[in-house]
Chains A and B, each alone.
Chain A
Amino acid sequence: MTTSEPGAAPRTLDGLRVLEIASPLTAYCGKMFADLGADVVLIEPPGGCRLRRERPFIEDRPGIEASLAFAYHNTSKRGITLNLTAEEGRALFRKLAGAADLVVEAEKPGVMAQRGLDYGVLARANRRLVMASISAFGQTGPYSQFEAEDLVGVAMGGLLYLGGYPDAAPIRAYGGQALLGASMYGAVGAMLALTEAELTGEGQQVDVSMQECMVMAMENAVQFFDLEGTVRKRYAGIQRFAGTGVFECRDGYIYMMAGGIGANKFWSFSLQWLLDEKVPGAERLTAERWNDIDYLLTDEAKRIFSEVFAPWAKTRTKAELYHEGQRRHIPLAPINTPADIMGSEQLVHREYFVRVSHPQRGEPLLMPGAPYKLAGTPWRITRPAPRLGEHNAEVFGAAGVASRELEQLAGAGVV
């Protein structure tokens, strides 16, 4: 086992028992619970779950224990194998669910019921049980049986249409954000239902739709349609307001917000900076109209800003522009690459990246750490992602399955 911090502090979710049926839609949800101290048991089919087959792999060599995507998303979990298509497997699942607080699953809607494992059945034996059911479109409705990958989730959820360049097809958010969004909302929904179950003694099912989670990411596009009748489009390469957008610099790009959002409160700082630096043409930005948001929305303002700012920005590095801009109280950010982020002094100071051991590798893996710092009950990875079936004996043993029986079940392909 690996711990990145001393083990003395109490855990936020101490004593909470979670069963997660492995899926790309459940993985991050389970991680959120596990890294705050819940006992999360990951249930995989005997051949291993889909995430074990996802890149990247350690040294690019595929293998059931080699996926870094799996290693990252399953920290602090215990792992068992269980064939839920076999009746003996279902019986074991019912037994485990009888002692759990939360089941997280993302099977196709209807599959859990076909297996006799739907919420109604499980709750009859365990009234407190909460079940978070995460799916592409929701448990019921005309699209509930549709197939979906991450790209379909961002497409149908309306986020995809807002991303990309006007002269090319819409471009999706990097990194599986629809899957992750559904997983995060799954965690929120599960915590809400658990809160209520702990107060009343009665659980319930939470139905989470990946599509609907992505609709939450449409920013103000729906309100533009509702209030103005306009349909927002993608605009990469175009400033949102004059002074707000992506600008090239000497070693990459920055995201400049010369005025801030809405109220344009930082414009005078940005202007003063360009004047102090004697940027050629900066005086073109001094007229009173530059304080008017409506003017900043015009093509003329965007063109003039770019003519003044862009050539000068190209003579400076990301880091120079970032630190000097921020010193002047301007919301300017470097467009970081992953390598820039690994070098961030801010993240080093926060001890953000953590080391976690891995069974296939002598050296620990260096990975992102706490997404929140809870002072009293800190986030902490308590163990690396489980090897396939690593905790079968431990988990089934605690559920009263004798070791001989477990051998038989293994022989029959149930575990």
Chain B
Amino acid sequence: MKRLPLAGIRVTDFTWIGAGSYATKILADFGADVIKIESSRRIDSLRMSAPFKDRIKGVNRSGYFADRNATKRSLTLDMKHPRALELARKLIAQSDIVANNFTPGVMERFGLGYDAVRTIRPDVIYVSMSMQGSTGPEHNYLGYGASMAALTGLMHLTGLPGREPAGTGTNFPDHVPNPCHAAFAIMAALRHRRRTGEGQLIDIAQTEPTIALLGPTFLDLTVNHRVQQPTGNEHPWAAPHGVYPCKGDDRWIAICVMSGAQWMALGDVLGNPEWTRDAGLRASSVRHTRRQELDASLAAETARWVAEDLMHALQARRVPAGVVQTAADVVERDPQLAHRSHWVTLEHAEMGRTIYNAPPLRFSRTPGELTRPAPLLGEHTDDICRDLLGLSAEETRKLKEEGVLV
């Protein structure tokens, strides 16, 4: 196998649950040795989150946890034990990156705040990813991805006007905005360190990347004094633009008509029904004004189609259209994701063969490959104690008995 971009980089990883774990996973998948510090005394709550293999709960059975932690190694270390700190310090001395997503203060209580860590490893890149950053009146507030979607405006703006906010139905900031921003900042800081020898502190408030993604919405407010409101699937000027029902149970298609040519093509595909023949509708402004009427007419047409058939018919005429795919669709039926080998099956000691997401990046010369499933809780404790902490098997055994390596 070719050398991966982050080979030789080690991460002492205190992150848990959502965004933090997905950020360090990017580093792991591309070659970094990411050592997840966990403890049975303070279980990563994602290990206890559904779904579980065969619906049987267990710390090594959560699919949610597994997908976010594949490729990492797991060291169990109870940071509340008085002897834990010296072991953590030994590991950090051999690490390039120390990452956490605790509320501010937790790492300091462990004796591992930035200033302390810098004395162990002067060029460390120290990443903190609390919900709202390490400073400010709300810095110690707590929450999860959905809380962040609420705080950032994403939840308020996603939904139908006049109804309660819908949001994405997921902890969205955990899955893309925060991991990508964190991984990018870490690699930028690594570059700076390669060039200057200097490490640094990176403070990421998990609300701030998502707000940054909504820049134009905030500019509309600060410049034009307009407070944006939810508009469902509507587009500011294009129509029809929405999600329409198809044949079958809860089947839908997304269609975006962005030009006069696409409007004509849509009419052709549908067999030019009466309501599409109005010449005035060739103008996008007219279609947008009459969008509700067009949406209703279009929905009546699409309901006669199988979603996949309509997508192919529209795409053949260069109209942007896509099936609203379910989990079953993306796993079992989508030929494009299959072509990209997106789903990777890995064998796990307790879960058996299950599927994992490959990162959504294909490299022409150093293709990464997922090879290691999620670690069992403490799976690599012995290896790490022997290889990095310089402990004999006997010493490791005693530290487990004493409740340190648990």
Q: Is A6 located at the chain interface by the 8 A CB criterion?
A: no
Residues of B close to A253: CB separation below 8 A? 156, 164-165
Indicate whether A222 sits within 8 Å of B355 (C-beta atoms), given known contacts A152-B254, A173-B168, A187-B180.
yes
- CB-based A-B contact count at 8 angstroms: 512
Interchain CA distance A333-B252 in the complex, whole Å: 32
A169 touches B252 (CB 8 A): yes
A-facing residues in B163-181 (Cβ within 8 Å): 163-172, 174-177, 180-181
- Interface residues on chain B, number (Cβ under 8 Å): 155
Of B83-91, B321-329, B382-390, the one with at least 4 CB within 8 A of chain A: B321-329
Residues of B close to A345: CB separation below 8 A? 136-138
Q: Which of A119, A261, A265 contacts B364 (CB under 8 A)?
A: A119
Instruction: Give the contact-size bracket for chain A.
Output: 35 or more
B324 touches A160 (CB 8 A): yes
Residues of A close to B196: CB separation below 8 A? 10
Q: Which residue of A lies closest to B5 (CB)?
A: A196
Residues of B close to A353: CB separation below 8 A? 218, 222
B-facing residues in A1-39 (Cβ within 8 Å): 10, 12-14, 16, 28, 32, 36
Using an 8 Å CB-CB cutoff, how does the interface string of A97-139 with B read, 1 for contact, 0 for none? Answer: 0000000000000000000000100000000000000000111
Shortest CB distance B55–A (Å): 6
Q: Is B188 located at the chain interface by the 8 A CB criterion?
A: yes
Shortest CB distance B339–A (Å): 4
Using an 8 Å CB-CB cutoff, how does the interface string of A301-332 with B read, 1 for contact, 0 for none? Answer: 00000000000000000000000001001011
Using an 8 Å CB-CB cutoff, how does the interface string of B279-303 with A read, 1 for contact, 0 for none? Answer: 0000000000000000000000000
Q: Is B82 located at the chain interface by the 8 A CB criterion?
A: no
Q: Is B392 located at the chain interface by the 8 A CB criterion?
A: no
Residues of A close to B355: CB separation below 8 A? 222-223, 226
Of A51-59, A77-85, A87-95, A407-415, the one with at least 4 CB within 8 A of chain B: A51-59
Q: Which of B43, B160, B219 contacts A72 (CB under 8 A)?
A: B219
Residues of B close to A218: CB separation below 8 A? 170, 175, 327, 330
Chain B CB within 10 A, most for which of A60, A200, A219: A219
A372 touches B227 (CB 8 A): no
A156 touches B334 (CB 8 A): yes
Q: Which of A155, A193, A236 contacts B322 (CB under 8 A)?
A: A155
Shortest CB distance A199–B (Å): 8
Indicate whether A374 sits within 8 Å of B191 (C-beta atoms), given known contacts A216-B360, A220-B63.
no
Q: Which residue of A lies closest to B143 (CB)?
A: A331
Q: Is A338 located at the chain interface by the 8 A CB criterion?
A: yes
Interchain CA distance A261-B158 in the complex, whole Å: 22
Indicate whether A165 sits within 8 Å of B160 (C-beta atoms), given known contacts A257-B147, A336-B153.
yes
A158 touches B138 (CB 8 A): no
Residues of A close to B232: CB separation below 8 A? 171
Q: Which residue of B lies closest to A53 (CB)?
A: B237
Q: Is A46 located at the chain interface by the 8 A CB criterion?
A: no
Residues of B close to A140: CB separation below 8 A? 339
Residues of A close to B154: CB separation below 8 A? 173-175
B153 touches A338 (CB 8 A): yes
Shortest CB distance A224–B (Å): 5
Indicate whether A222 sits within 8 Å of B218 (C-beta atoms), given known contacts A152-B320, A156-B323.
no
Indicate whether A255 sits within 8 Å of B146 (C-beta atoms), given known contacts A175-B213, A177-B176, A184-B180.
yes
Residues of B close to A185: CB separation below 8 A? 176, 180, 360-361
A188 touches B180 (CB 8 A): yes
Q: Which of B199, B230, B243 contacts A170 (CB under 8 A)?
A: B243
Residues of B close to A41: CB separation below 8 A? none
Interchain CA distance A139-B360 in the complex, whole Å: 12
B227 touches A192 (CB 8 A): no
A338 touches B217 (CB 8 A): yes
Of A204-212, A271-279, A387-395, the one with at least 4 CB within 8 A of chain B: A204-212
Residues of B close to A173: CB separation below 8 A? 154, 158, 168, 172
Q: Which residue of B lies closest to A186 (CB)?
A: B361
Using an 8 Å CB-CB cutoff, how does the interface string of B110-130 with A read, 1 for contact, 0 for none? Answer: 000000000000000000000
Q: Top 8 A-B pairs ranked by shortest CB distance?
A: A223-B63, A376-B200, A141-B339, A236-B166, A212-B360, A184-B180, A72-B215, A155-B254
Ordered by A's residue number, 22 sampled pairs between the chains whose C-beta atoms are within 8 Å are A55-B236, A138-B339, A143-B335, A146-B320, A149-B256, A158-B325, A163-B158, A184-B181, A188-B183, A188-B361, A205-B363, A220-B64, A230-B51, A255-B146, A257-B146, A333-B151, A335-B155, A336-B153, A339-B227, A350-B133, A371-B211, A374-B188
Given A171-B158, A212-B340, A216-B175: 20 more A-B contacts, CB < 8 Å: A58-B223, A73-B215, A141-B335, A157-B330, A158-B329, A165-B166, A191-B184, A192-B187, A193-B5, A196-B4, A198-B194, A212-B337, A220-B51, A220-B67, A262-B48, A338-B153, A367-B222, A372-B203, A373-B203, A375-B202
